Amino acid sequence: MKALLTTMMAALLLAAAPAWAGGEPERLALFQRGTIFHSGLTHTHTIALTFDDGPNAHTAEVLDALKELGVKATFFIVGNQAHRHPDILARIAREGHLLANHSATHALLGASYDAQPERLIAQVRDVDEQIAPLMRPGEPRFFRAPYGSWKYAHQGILNADPELRKYIGPIYWDVGGQISMTRDGYVMSAADWTCWRKGWSPHTCAKGYTREIRRKDGGVVLMHCIQVNSAALVREVVPPLLEEGYRFIRLDQNPEYRQYETPPAKPAKPRGEADARTAPLRLTALRPEDMR
């Protein structure tokens, strides 16, 4: 029994030991080794709308729609788009939405980036340099990988940078990833870019979004803000959910992500004092679903 207990303790310690334990044990890595799939928002009647790939001319219509509906969202910005539309980028922040990072060129961040770390850093830094001055001090910075592509080694490269290690990511989504239908053509879920490619109307596409949101009772919702139908989709999806009492939040209002934040500069702590904040968080920072 004692041997079994010892084995179990050892396994637990191994599981709890973070990769960065050799350096500063109480520091959390922010860019994670695996994509952050778990949002904690499903079954909470809470929705975080996220708009990728902007800004462009159609983003302004999305901002108009959100303003009329009184909803705040998170915008994952592509650097080269932002260089072309700095006024719309500034408007996103000004209207109370959260700016976030979706790489400079919407690059597929494969293993080749690990051989040339400066290329990976440049992909994140370009957007960071554009959005950080528009963000409020202390606002958390989120990253979403284009195409959801992420490699284990990326976090080590990015967390070694004193600015970029302030990022939380890569952030995935719960709703909006794909179209699914029943055999008799009932739309169960939708993904906006596929809807438009199929020639669906915003009304039909919205059915997929609202049904998936209702089934999951909330979640991080993936949309795009750069297509001619983007604003119409927002106007179809959001009003019925507001009527049903759903709460709309920005990603920085999601408590689930706090475990990935950079702790503030190390405070002098009396020896032996239990750290209630970091101790349990280290265990949860490496959940199996984050390692996929």
Report the interface residues with Zn ion, using CB under 5 A.
52-53, 146
Q: How far is the CB of 6 from Zn ion (least distance, A)?
A: 48
Residue 54 or 202 having the CB closest to Zn ion:
54
Give the span between the Cα atoms of 167 and 128, in whole angstroms. Answer: 10
Backbone angles phi, psi at 46, to 5 degrees: -125, 140
Q: What angle do CA 202, 84, 88 make, to 5 degrees?
A: 55
Residue 51 or 246 having the CB closest to Zn ion:
51
- SS in 3 state form for 94-139? HCCCEEEECCCCCCCCCCHHHHCHHHHHHHHHHHHHHHHHHCCCCC
200: Cα separation from own chain's centroid? 27
Tell me if 75 sits within 8 A of 56, measured CB to CB: no
Residue 52 or 212 having the CB closest to Zn ion:
52
Residue 78 or 249 having the CB closest to Zn ion:
78
CB count in 10 Å sphere of residue 102: 30
Helix or strand or coil: residue 174? coil
Give the CA diameter of the chain. Answer: 67
Residue 46 or 59 having the CB closest to Zn ion:
59
Residue 78 or 234 having the CB closest to Zn ion:
78
Give the span between the Cα atoms of 220 and 195, in whole angstroms. Answer: 19
Q: How far is the CB of 271 from Zn ion (least distance, A)?
A: 47
Residue 52 or 128 having the CB closest to Zn ion:
52
Q: How far is the CB of 147 from Zn ion (least distance, A)?
A: 7
Q: How far is the CB of 110 from Zn ion (least distance, A)?
A: 15
Q: How far is the CB of 148 from Zn ion (least distance, A)?
A: 9
Tell me if 80 sits within 8 A of 104, measured CB to CB: yes
Query: Helices (H), strands (E): how many in the chain?
Result: 11, 10
DSSP state of 226: S
Q: How far is the CB of 149 from Zn ion (least distance, A)?
A: 10
Give the span between the Cα atoms of 17 and 48, in whole angstroms. Answer: 31
Q: How far is the CB of 123 from Zn ion (least distance, A)?
A: 13
Residue number closest to Zn ion, CB atom? 52
> Quick one: tokens of 246?
């759903």
Give the span between the Cα atoms of 292 and 290, in whole angstroms. Answer: 6
